[in-house]
């Protein structure tokens, strides 16, 4: 499989692996296979909002950057089943995203997302992987790259913290694409984010733990849907694994926001380990497998 396939399937499989145990408390369950039902009444292999919004963003990038079309596509996903696993309206839209989508539908696409400090769930972070893949090797660095990421993050999460987390994840993806190992990719991203935080110093101390995430024990990792907790859980899972399956299993067994943490870890692990060591059957269980395959091919073509 290509490196882009590893990232996209790595993300999607991590999402589907975590869906049945979302919201569960840590150490109250064990999943080894791709199972269904559980937290959501959906069949095994079902991917959720994380993958759906990733696919929609990929499609939008292929067509050529059109932010209003992207917003409309998110509306169609939430309400009319565009890029959902079963063509029904999405089963799991986050609070902040649902709020802005409803305003886009009611008051127009110019409406802005909430930007208060408490609207910092992981809904921007969960759809940033395509932006990270898209911006790699395009001479976008520093402030220019930051502003590019910010434009996409802010569509649903207007507070700067969400953008800073998306920027960090993007930097890690870029280094992994270069073939640099996970630990060193994180060090590079930490340095670049530290530089950026000089402009946003009121946020700086919130990233202290992230910069030394490997020093923390499992009990210190919160794994909630708060964007900082999510990012910490993702990097901790990546650093405490030696292959793809181990990475998503570590992530999904942290509890709470298992699908998003599984997905974000899976995307990075697919890039870092270059091989998705899960049964072939897992791929076949993914709804819309052929659509996903076709989308990846078109995305790769557009990247050239
Ligand atoms: Mg989800």
Known binder of ligand: residue 257? yes
Residue boundaries of the structural domains of the chain:
3-22+42-303
Residue 53 makes CB contacts below 8 A (sequence gap 6+) with 74, 77, 126, 127
Known binder of ligand: residue 50? yes
Over residues 28-79, the pLDDT tens digits come to 999 999 999 888 889 999 999 999 999 999 999 999 989 999 999 999 999 9
Known binder of ligand: residue 260? yes
Count helices and strands in the chain by DSSP H and E runs:
15, 0
pLDDT at 141 over 90: no
Question: What is the structure's pLDDT at 60?
Answer: 97
pLDDT at 277 over 90: yes
Q: Measuring CA to CA, how many Å separate 75 from each of 9, 125, 160, 173, 265?
A: 24, 18, 23, 28, 26
Beta carbons of 17 and 252 less than 8 angstroms apart: yes
Instruction: Estimate the share of the chain in helix, then strand, then coil, as percent rounded to the nearest 5.
Output: 65, 0, 35
**Mean pLDDT score, 196-208:** 97
Beta carbons of 270 and 7 less than 8 angstroms apart: yes
Distance 227 CA to ligand 1 centre (A): 13
Question: What is the structure's pLDDT at 140?
Answer: 87
Distance 260 CA to ligand 1 centre (A): 5
Question: What is the structure's pLDDT at 65?
Answer: 85
Question: What is the structure's pLDDT at 105?
Answer: 97
CA distance 167 to 100: 22
Backbone angles phi, psi at 136, to 5 degrees: -65, 135
CA distance 250 to 88: 31
Buried b (16+ CB within 10 A) or exposed e, 274-287: eebebeeebbebbb
Distance 202 CA to ligand 1 centre (A): 30
Residues lining ion ligand 1 (Cβ < 5 A) are 48-50, 259
Percentage with pLDDT > 90 across the chain? 95
Backbone angles phi, psi at 115, to 5 degrees: -130, 15
Global pTM?
A: 0.98
Distance 124 CA to ligand 1 centre (A): 12
User: Taking all residues of the chain, what is their mean pLDDT, rounded to a whole number?
Assistant: 97
Backbone angles phi, psi at 61, to 5 degrees: -65, -40
Closest listed residue to residue 57, CA positions, set 71, 45, 47: 71
Known binder of ligand: residue 49? yes
Question: What is the structure's pLDDT at 253?
Answer: 98
Fold of 3-22+42-303: ADP-ribosylglycohydrolase fold (1.10.4080)
Known binder of ligand: residue 48? yes
Residue 294 makes CB contacts below 8 A (sequence gap 6+) with none
**Tokens at residue 82, please?**
């565009």
CA distance 96 to 156: 7
| Mutual angle of helices 289-303 and 49-63, in 10-degree steps | 40
Using pLDDT thresholds of 50, 70 and 90, give the confidence band for residue 239. Answer: very high
Residue position matching structure tokens 């001479």? 139
pLDDT at 27 over 90: yes
**Tokens at residue 275, please?**
């091989």
Known binder of ligand: residue 162? no
Percentage with pLDDT > 70 across the chain? 100
């Amino acid at each position: 499989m290509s490196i882009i396939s590893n990232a996209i399937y790595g993300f999607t499989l991590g999402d589907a692996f975590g869906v049945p145990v979302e919201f569960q408390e840590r150490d109250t369950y064990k999943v080894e296979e791709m199972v269904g039902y559980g937290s959501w009444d959906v069949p095994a292999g079902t991917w959720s909002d994380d993958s759906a919004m990733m696919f929609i963003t990929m499609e939008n990038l292929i067509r050529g950057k059109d932010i209003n079309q992207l917003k409309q596509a998110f509306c169609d996903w939430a309400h009319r089943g565009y890029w959902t696993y079963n063509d029904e309206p999405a089963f799991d839209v986050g609070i902040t995203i649902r709020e802005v989508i409803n305003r886009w539908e009611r008051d127009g696409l110019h409406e802005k997302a909430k930007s208060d400090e408490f609207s910092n769930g992981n809904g921007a972070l969960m759809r940033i992987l395509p932006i990270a893949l898209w911006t790699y090797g395009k001479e976008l660095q520093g402030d220019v790259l930051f502003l590019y990421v910010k434009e996409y993050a802010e569509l649903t999460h207007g507070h700067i913290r969400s953008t800073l987390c998306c920027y960090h994840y993007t930097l890690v993806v870029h280094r992994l694409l270069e073939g640099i190992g996970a630990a060193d990719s994180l060090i590079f991203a930490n340095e670049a984010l530290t530089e950026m935080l000089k402009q946003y110093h009121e946020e700086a101390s919130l990233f202290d733990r992230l910069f030394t995430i490997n020093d923390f024990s499992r009990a210190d990792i919160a794994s909630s849907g708060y964007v900082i907790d999510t990012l910490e859980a993702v990097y901790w899972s990546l650093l405490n694994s030696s292959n793809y399956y181990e990475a998503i299993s570590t992530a999904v067994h942290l509890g709470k926001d298992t699908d998003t943490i599984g997905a974000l870890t899976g995307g990075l692990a697919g890039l870092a380990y270059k091989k998705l060591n899960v049964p072939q059957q897992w791929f076949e269980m993914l709804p819309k497998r052929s659509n996903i395959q076709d989308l990846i091919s078109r995305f790769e073509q557009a990247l050239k």
